[in-house]
C-alpha cells in the first residue's frame, strides 16, 4: 500500500471518529511516526501531505536529518525517552520534545535551548498505566508537581500540553480508560490555571487505538505503522 492511500484511509477514520463525538476533524493533528524509516519514506509521506513527524531516538534522527532538512514546513518532534546527556543534540535537531518526563530533563533542555537561543515547545509525558518499563511521570505525583511548579522559570521551554502511551491492549477499547484519565488530568490542571503551562495539546492515540483516543478528546495522534507499514526490527 502506498503512503498516500494509507493516509487517505486514516484521514477518513479520523473524520469519522471525530464526527461520532461531535468534534471537528480540523481540531486533530496527525503526526507521522517515522522512526526506523529512511529519508525516502519520509519524503514520500511529505509528498502525500504530512508535515509533522515523530522520531524516538536522537542518534537515529541525526543520521537522517541532512536528507530531509530541505522539506520546507516539515517539523520533527522527539517522542521517545531522552537521556539528560543528549539534550543538546535533541534541541539542535528537533522542533519540539513531546516526551518530557522529569524536572531534571526539563532543566537540561531549558539550558540547552537558552544556549542555542531557541524556544522549545514541549509536552509532559504521563505514564497513565504506571508501567515500570515505560517512561513518563506518574499521574498526580510529586514528580509531576515538581515540573509544573518549575515551568514558569524555564524560560526557553513552552509547555503546550500532555502526552501518553497507555498500556498495550489488543482491543483498542482497553486503552479507553487511560485516554479518559489523561483527559481528566488535563481538565484538573487547567482548572488550576497554572502559570507558564498551556494545556492545548493532548497527544494520545497510535495506529491501533487512535479512533478511541479521538473519541476521548485527543487532538494529536501519533501514527506510524498505519502510515508506513510494519517497522523493520530494530
Residues that bind ligand PLP (CB under 6 A): 33, 35, 56, 79-80, 165, 206-208, 222-226
Q: What angle do CA 201, 203, 205 make, to 5 degrees?
A: 150
What is the DSSP code string of 112-160? HHHHTT--EEEEEEB-TT--TTS-SBPTT-HHHHHHHHHGGG-TTEEEE
Residue from 227, 209, 211, 210 nearest 50 by CA: 227
CB of 180 to ligand PLP, least distance (A): 18
| Closer residue to ligand PLP, CB minimum distance, 35 or 108 | 35
CB of 209 to ligand PLP, least distance (A): 9
Quote the CA–CA distance of 224 and 226 in Å, as a whole number.
6
Length in residues, the chain: 234
Question: Cα 62 vs. chain centroid, distance in angstroms?
Answer: 18
| Closer residue to ligand PLP, CB minimum distance, 175 or 226 | 226
Question: Cα 183 vs. chain centroid, distance in angstroms?
Answer: 15
CB of 33 to ligand PLP, least distance (A): 4
Contacts of 70 (CB under 8 A, 6+ apart): none
| Closer residue to ligand PLP, CB minimum distance, 84 or 225 | 225
| Closer residue to ligand PLP, CB minimum distance, 91 or 227 | 227
CB of 179 to ligand PLP, least distance (A): 13
Nearest residue by C-beta to ligand PLP?
A: 224
CB of 191 to ligand PLP, least distance (A): 27
| Closer residue to ligand PLP, CB minimum distance, 18 or 209 | 209
Whether the CB-CB separation of 231 and 224 falls below 8 Å is answered with: yes
| Closer residue to ligand PLP, CB minimum distance, 175 or 223 | 223
Q: What are phi and psi of 43, to 5 degrees?
A: -65, -35
CB of 98 to ligand PLP, least distance (A): 8
Amino acid at each position: 500500500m502506498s503512503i498516500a492511500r494509507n493516509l487517505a484511509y486514516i484521514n477518513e477514520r479520523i473524520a469519522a471518529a471525530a464526527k461520532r463525538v461531535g468534534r471537528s476533524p480540523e481540531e486533530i493533528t496527525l503526526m507521522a511516526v517515522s522512526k526506523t524509516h529512511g529519508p525516502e519514506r519520509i519524503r514520500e509521506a511529505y509528498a502525500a501531505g504530512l508535515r509533522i513527524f515523530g522520531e524516538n531516538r536522537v542518534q537515529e534522527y541525526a543520521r537522517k536529518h541532512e536528507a530531509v532538512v530541505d522539506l520546507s514546513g516539515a517539523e520533527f518532534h522527539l517522542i521517545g525517552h531522552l537521556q539528560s546527556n543528549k539534550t543538546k543534540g535533541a534541541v539542535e535537531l528537533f522542533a519540539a520534545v513531546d516526551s518530557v518526563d522529569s524536572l531534571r530533563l526539563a532543566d537540561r533542555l531549558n539550558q540547552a535551548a537558552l544556549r542555542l537561543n531557541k524556544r522549545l515547545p514541549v509536552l509532559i509525558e504521563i505514564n497513565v498505566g504506571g508501567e515500570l518499563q515505560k517512561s513518563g511521570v506518574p499521574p498526580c505525583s510529586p514528580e509531576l508537581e515538581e515540573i509544573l511548579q518549575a515551568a514558569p522559570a524555564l524560560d526557553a521551554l513552552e509547555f503546550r500540553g500532555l502526552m501518553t502511551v497507555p498500556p498495550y491492549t489488543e482491543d483498542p477499547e482497553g486503552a479507553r480508560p487511560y485516554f479518559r484519565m489523561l483527559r481528566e488530568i488535563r481538565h484538573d490542571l487547567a482548572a488550576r490555571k497554572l502559570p507558564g503551562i498551556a494545556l492545548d495539546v493532548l497527544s494520545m492515540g497510535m495506529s491501533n487505538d487512535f479512533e478511541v483516543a479521538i473519541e476521548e478528546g485527543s487532538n494529536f495522534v501519533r501514527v506510524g505503522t498505519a502510515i508506513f507499514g510494519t517497522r523493520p526490527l530494530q
